[in-house]
Amino acid sequence: MLRAHTVEQVRRAEQAAMAALPDGALMQRAAAGLATAVVDLLGGAYGRRVLLLVGAGDNGGDALWAGARLAARGARVEALLLSEHAHDGGLAALRAAGGWATRALDELGDPEVVLDGIVGIGGRPGLRPDAVAALERFAAVPVVAVDVPSGVDVDTGELDGPHVRANLTVTFGTHKVAHLVDPAAAASGSLHLVDIGLDLPDTAVEALQPDDVRALLPRPGPDAQKYTRGVVGVRAGSATYPGAALLAVAGAGSGLVGMVRYVGPDAVADRVRTAHPEVVGEGRVQAWVVGPGGGDDAADMLAAARADDVPLVVDADALRHVDGPLPGAVLTPHAGELAAMLEVAREEVEARPLEHVRAAAQRWGCVVLLKGHHTLVADPAGRVRVTTTGVPWLATAGAGDVLAGLVGALLAAGLDPFDAASVGSWVHGAAATEAAGGGPLTASRVAVQLPRLVRETLAAPRSRSLR
């Protein structure tokens, strides 16, 4: 499991580690990992041109010590000091290794990479004008953020003012919330974790890894039959949106349960059974998927599904009819739908998705899956799982219908709502990545890819989970 810790948790762990280690050992470990990552990015050190943007905190010290290591390997290293109080030891080491430091922006050369050591994990969102000017001067140069992109809110992933947009973030000890939660996650670029030996507690924000998904995916036992594997029902589609029913059924019928039932308008039901002849009609189910393309019938669909007293996936049109707590349910809104449910502007949800998804989970007493670049799955207790699989091409019509069906199948197969939502989101994103192959895709192609992705995940050798 990839875990993202808060600033307070990291600081306590660092203090405990420093009490047991020689002075400066943690910074040296961080600097060594940072320098190695920069060498890998550049394809070498000798003759390369590196600029350090250095603030007053420990991140500035990490950048200076890493710069000293790079200079000792033949790189041309310059440091722009953005504070009156640079890390003394790191600055002395940089100069001793042949590096150079200045406070004048116009004295700098043309770097091949910029190291962002402006603000550490304790900094406030936003940047001072001198830092903004430096970033603007080298806007075309790749940026490596030291621990976190400067200017983001580390514990919430929120942005408020100018900030670094990194190509690569090299973080130490553990991932931070801002690495996983948008909008700051989008500013982090690729992530590289350097283990510096911290002993960290459990945390409320995490991201599933392939081994976690493999352990949670349902598998039929040797004595399985179609009813014991789970039966999922789909109430979706309308004369206006018949395709939503077809896609939700395709997601539900990915092979993870023994049977899929469809209930909806006769004309839509005929199309569903033509496309999916294995699908049957109304009867007992272990979970319902309600709402995709339901239109004016969505309220009745939700009421009928609730009457069965089984877990629900509530999506699309049915979300407008959630009028109270829904224990055991998974709500699957995008930002606009969640904004309408919470009676706030969409922009507020997009700016503070972690805050809003947690508020929604608590308000409706159930799991809420907020779809986005990094989908968030929250439970009423405040636990959050972040989905890091997927590609921008997944932002396509009908993809959410496939996801709703897939989550419903996992519910019917016996996963609890939090696991069903987070595993479903991970599998959906991973299948989309494979189906896209670096280019455009459609929701139907994602659905077709699901069984293959599940097979590959179950068959893959066990890997070491990131932390």
Are 7 and 121 a contacting pair, CB within 8 Å? yes
Return the structure tokens found at 448. 């077709």
Give 94-134 pLDDT, tens digit per residue.
Answer: 999 999 999 999 999 999 999 999 998 988 899 999 999 99
Ramachandran class of 422: left when φ > 0, alpha when ψ lies in -120 to 50, beta otherwise: alpha
Report strand pairing: 312-314 vs 190-194: unpaired
Cα distances from 71 to residues 33, 51, 78, 363, in angstroms, run 15, 11, 9, 55
d(CA 78, CA 70): 11
User: What's the confidence (pLDDT) of residue 158?
Assistant: 97
| CA pseudo-torsion sign 237, 241, 242, 248 | negative
Are 71 and 54 a contacting pair, CB within 8 Å? no
Beta bridge partners of 77: 50
Q: Which CATH number fits domain 210-459: 3.30.70.100, 3.20.20.70, 3.40.1190.20, 1.10.3720.10?
A: 3.40.1190.20
Query: Which residues make Cβ contacts (< 8 Å) with residue 23, sequence separation at least 6?
Result: none
- Digit-by-digit pLDDT tens for the chain (467 residues) are 999 999 999 999 999 999 999 999 999 999 999 999 999 999 999 999 999 999 998 999 999 999 999 999 999 999 999 998 899 999 999 999 999 999 999 999 999 999 999 998 988 899 999 999 999 999 999 999 999 999 999 999 999 999 999 999 999 999 999 999 999 999 999 999 999 999 999 999 999 999 999 999 999 989 999 999 999 999 999 999 999 999 999 999 999 999 999 999 999 999 999 999 999 999 999 999 999 999 999 999 999 999 999 999 999 999 999 999 999 999 999 999 999 999 999 999 999 999 999 999 999 999 999 999 999 999 999 999 999 999 999 999 999 999 999 999 999 999 999 999 999 999 999 999 999 999 999 999 999 999 999 999 999 776 544 33
d(CA 74, CA 306): 68
Where are the chain's structural domains?
Answer: 2-203, 210-459
- In which residue are the tokens 């500013």 written? 187
Q: Which class is 2-203 in CATH?
A: alpha beta
d(CA 240, CA 263): 16
d(CA 182, CA 339): 16
| Other beta carbons less than 10 A from residue 22's beta carbon | 8
- In which residue are the tokens 């081994």 written? 211
Return the structure tokens found at 176. 């931070």
Identify which of 422, 438, 435, 437 has the alpha carbon closest to the alpha carbon of residue 209.
422
Return the structure tokens found at 297. 């019938």
